[in-house]
Structures are given as C-alpha cells and as structure tokens.
C-alpha cells in the first residue's frame, strides 16, 4: 500500500478523534433517577455506533487535511523490449549532408536525419529503457538508462547544437557499455552506434572493449552514415598498401566488431531512407521478453477521506433529526 502523508504535523489533529469518547454528542434528557431506566443493549449499541461514526468522520477530515496519498508504485511486468544505449557521434562531419557538403535547403545534414529518425524510433519503443551517450574527442555522458521518453527526446533534440571535435569511438563505446553496469540482465542489451566515420582503436582499448562486451552481454548495432565517395564498411581495399587501420578505419572497425564474439549487425546508410530501414530492422528484431517496471503514479487519497467524512456527517445529521424529546 505504501501510504504517506504530505504534512505529518497535521496528524496531531487525530487527537480530536478521541473527543467522542468523552461526550456522546447528544442532548441529555432529564430523568428523575437513572437507575429506573432499564438497561437497553440496542441503545448502547447505537450510541457506540454513533460515536464511532463521529470518530471516523474526524479522522477522515484530519487525514484529508494532512494529505494522505499512496506513494508512487512500481509494478513488475513482463513485456517485450530492450535496454538501449544510443551512442551518437558528435564529430563535426555529422553536420554535413550525405553528399559531404554543408546542407542547403534541399538535403538535410546527417545529424538532422539521424535526429529525426531516432526521435521516431524512441516514440515506438514504449517499454524500453533508453540511455544516451555521445562522443567526439571525448565521451559525454548525457542521459542514464531511463523509461522517461521525454528526457531521451530532449537529449536527442540537443544534438541540434553544432557538433564538436573528432571521432574517438573506443572511449565512446566504453562509456556506452558502462551504462549497463548495475542494471539487471533482462531483455536484450543494445548499443546503437550512430556514426559517420571511424577511427583506429588502439590495442589496449581493443582488449578492454572485448572483455566488457562479453561481460555485459551487449549486442552492437552500428549504423554507419556513409558520405558519398568515402570508404565504406564493406569495401575491400583496391591497393594492398591501403589495407591498414589508418587508411581504412571503417573496415577495420567493422572487422574488430565482427571479432567481438557478441552479436553484431552493421548497416551502411547512404541516405535517410537507408537509415530508416536500419532502424525499422532493429525495431523488429529486438523484442526479447523482458522484465520491466511499470510506474503507477502517486495517488491522492485525500478526496476519498473527505468523501467518507461527508457521508458520515450526513448520517450523523440524519440521526439528529430522529432524536426525540420527551
């Protein structure tokens, strides 16, 4: 039940509820000698009831004034969904269009397209917990895993501000995985990386990321927003001299992700439509059964208290008119 009170000191008013014990609240009728009146169990019973009514009415009023309410409850439910961390690239190139130019009136920038589609995506995933992390030169913790979709939308909307520095993907991934620490393992755990470029990951970080991905059982989705004429994830180098992480970071990052040992899916989106397709896929695939908590908001019980008190007052008044004066 978890009942709570807004103003605890108001509860001292409950002492007033003891008053009917000292006074039956009825007019006294004169009688020459009380012993003459025979004992009447029914009368005693009725008087007791009336006193109880009065006590309950006073208690109801006091509890209503003290602001009795039921605190916010969480009900465990089983549904379909996932814990998703959106890892967004905030490097400056995200502010260019898919054609690699500064956006003009006709085409939108990669960041705008990503923002628009992610907003829709979040709207569709009602039971998920979603968190947001960003990275450029360094990782930014933005929003913890939360069921509050407004908060996630506010974080996505904030990416409309100009982008920052460079692409440092390994630190970003590390931060995204850290979101799952101290979270129950239920449903699927997803890191959704949205980026338009990659960077070589150094050996130490590779080692750590491998470990963390395994430890936290995280699935990775990479939506690569490919700019026209730039190397893609699935390209093979034409010249063997280019076959290294420095020249083709995207390919090597992809290879590293494939070798992680945890489920991984890459999407190469060259236009907003392809991006839409990738998001629709995730929406379809990631619906494992999951325990989640439904929030039942705080319930105000003072109205109920007042209603009960009013009903009892009505009863008392009704009884008042039944009193007989001899």
Partner 1 sequence: MGTKNEKTMNHTLKDYRTWCLLLALIAMLVLFMHPSKQQKTPTYNYTFIIDITRSMNATDYQQDNQSVSRLHFVKQTLRELLRDLPCQSKVGLGLFTERRSTLLFEPLEVCSAYTEIDTAISKIDWRMAWAADSNIAKGLLSTLEMLQKSDSSVIFITDGQEAPPVNPNYQADFSTIKGQAKGMIIGVGGLQAVPIPKFDSQGRQTGFYTQDDVPHRSSFGQSNLDPSQIKGYNARNAPFGSEAATGNEHLTALHETYLEKLSAESGLAYARLTDLQNLGLALKNPKLATEKVVQTDIRRQPALLALLMLSLIYLPKVYKFRRFFARECSLIPKL
Note the residues at the interface with partner 1 (CB under 8 A).
Answer: 13, 16, 19-20, 22-23, 25-27, 54, 57-58, 61-62, 64-65, 90, 132, 134, 136-144, 146, 148, 150-151, 154-155, 157-158, 161-162, 164-166, 302-303, 306, 309-310, 313-314, 316-317, 320-321, 323-325
- The nearest distance, CB 143 to partner 1, in angstroms, is 6
Which of 239, 323 has the CB closer to partner 1?
323
Question: Least distance to partner 1 from the beta carbon of 135, Å?
Answer: 9
d(CA 228, CA 96): 11
Q: What are phi and psi of 7, to 5 degrees?
A: -120, 95
**Shortest distance in whole angstroms from residue 301 CB to partner 1:** 13
Nearest-approach distance from CB 27 to partner 1, in angstroms: 6
CB of 215 to partner 1, least distance (A): 20
Nearer to partner 1, 261 or 297 (CB): 297
Nearer to partner 1, 150 or 229 (CB): 150
Q: Which is nearer to partner 1, 103 or 232 (CB)?
A: 103
Of 104, 63, 103, nearest to 227 by C-alpha is 103
Q: How far is the CB of 235 from partner 1 (least distance, A)?
A: 29
Residues in the chain: 326
Helix intervals (H) in the chain: 41-66, 110-124, 149-157, 169-178, 203-216, 249-258, 272-285, 302-320
Report the Cα–Cα distance between both ends of the chain, in Å, rounded.
49
DSSP letter for 227, please.
P
Closest CA to 175 of 191, 154, 159: 191
CA distances from residue 19 to 57, 197, 306 in whole angstroms, order as listed? 12, 77, 19
Question: Which token pair is 231?
Answer: 């190397």
> How far is Cα 176 from Cα 219, in angstroms, rounded to an integer?
12
What is the per-residue burial (b if ≥16 Cβ within 10 Å, else e) of 127-144?
bbbbbbbbbbeebeebbe
Task: Pick the closer one to partner 1 by CB: 184 or 237.
Answer: 184
Cβ proximity to partner 1: between 92 and 287 the closer is 92
Closest contact distance (angstroms) between CB of 302 and partner 1 is 7
- 106 or 324: CB nearest partner 1: 324
């Amino acid at each position: 039940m978890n009942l709570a009170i807004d103003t605890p000191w108001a509860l001292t008013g409950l002492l007033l509820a003891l008053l009917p014990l000292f006074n039956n609240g009825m007019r006294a009728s004169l009688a020459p000698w009380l012993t003459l009146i025979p004992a009447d169990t029914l009368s005693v019973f009725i008087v007791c009831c009336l006193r109880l009514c009065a006590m309950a009415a006073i208690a109801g009023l006091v509890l209503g004034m003290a602001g009795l309410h039921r605190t916010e409850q969480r009900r465990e439910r089983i549904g379909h969904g996932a814990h998703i961390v959106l890892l967004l690239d905030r490097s400056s190139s995200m502010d260019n269009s898919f054609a690699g130019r500064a956006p003009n009136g006709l085409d939108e920038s990669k960041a705008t397209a990503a923002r628009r589609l992610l907003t829709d995506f979040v709207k569709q995933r009602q039971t998920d917990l979603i968190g947001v992390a960003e990275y450029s030169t360094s990782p930014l913790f933005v929003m913890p895993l939360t069921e509050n979709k407004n908060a996630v939308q506010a974080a996505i909307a904030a990416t409309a501000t100009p982008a920052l520095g460079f692409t440092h993907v390994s630190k970003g991934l590390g931060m995204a995985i850290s979101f799952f620490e101290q979270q129950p393992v239920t449903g699927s755990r997803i890191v959704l990386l949205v980026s338009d470029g990659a960077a070589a990951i150094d050996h130490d970080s590779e080692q750590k990321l491998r470990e963390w991905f395994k430890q936290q059982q995280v699935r990775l989705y990479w939506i690569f927003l490919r700019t026209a004429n730039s190397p893609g994830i699935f390209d093979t180098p034409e010249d063997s001299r280019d076959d290294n992480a420095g020249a083709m970071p995207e390919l090597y990052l992809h290879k590293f992700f494939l070798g992680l040992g945890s489920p991984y899916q890459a999407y190469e989106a060259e236009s907003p439509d392809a991006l839409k397709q990738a998001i629709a896929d995730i929406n379809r695939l990631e619906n494992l059964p999951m325990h989640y908590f439904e929030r039942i908001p705080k319930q105000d019980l003072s109205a109920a208290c007042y209603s009960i008190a009013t009903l009892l007052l009505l009863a008392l008044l009704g009884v008042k008119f039944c009193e007989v004066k001899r």
